[in-house]
Amino acid sequence: MLNAFIVEHGVTSVIEFGCGDGNQLSLGVYPRYRGFDVSEHAVAACRALFSDDESKSFAPLADYAGEKADLVLSLDVIYHLVEDEIFDSHMRTLFGAAERFVIIYSSNSDDLRRSYKSHVRHRRFTDWIGDNLLNWNLQERIANPHRGTGFWRGRPESEPAFFVFEKAVIHCADR
């Protein structure tokens, strides 16, 4: 899905917040990629895994210095942000780094009745975006292609999906 999106929209640069171990990235065909992660171990693993690929670079999240890209990704991250301040910072950084598109893969539910583990908190993040980022529009929600499998089996209210946001083009009228 991500590779097709990049081709279809002429994306030339990608930033991912939460690059992890590089497993998902190994499937990606990205013209230019910059991955950030809170885990120094994950960053080191990605640097080693992609050491021969000059189109990819990695850094600890603490080293993020305002870089921008056509497309910014947050895959399997949001529901692991259990503290409100960290969630807010992640969302502002994510959308602040995007010049055109943001794709989030996450659950989108405030179902607090279900607590699977201490490191999972479901949030209706689309409401947060609507309340805080007026210049972004949800263009598409793409259901999990593996619905009803793995950890999420039997929990459809909190099953993750892809959410594609596009930056609104604001036209100023001549006066």
What CATH code is carried by the domain that includes residue 144? Answer: 3.40.50.150
Assigned domain for 172 exists: no
Domain count, the chain: 1
Please report whether residue 136 resides in a domain.
Answer: yes
173 in any annotated domain? no
**Does any domain span residue 134?**
yes
Residue 110: what pLDDT? Answer: 77
- Strands, DSSP E only, in 3-135? 14-17, 33-37, 56-60, 69-75, 98-106
Residue 8 lies in a domain: yes
Q: pLDDT tens string for the chain (175 positions)?
A: 999 999 999 999 999 999 999 988 999 999 999 999 999 999 999 999 999 999 999 999 999 999 999 999 999 899 888 888 999 999 999 999 999 999 999 989 876 555 455 677 878 899 999 999 989 999 999 987 766 544 444 444 457 899 999 999 765 554 4
Supply the pTM of this predicted model: 0.87
The boundaries of the domain holding residue 106 are 2-167
The verdict on residue 174 lying in a domain is no
Of 52, 68, 54, whose CA–CA distance to 17 is shortest? 68
Q: Residue 69 domain-assigned?
A: yes
Strands 14-17 and 69-75: parallel
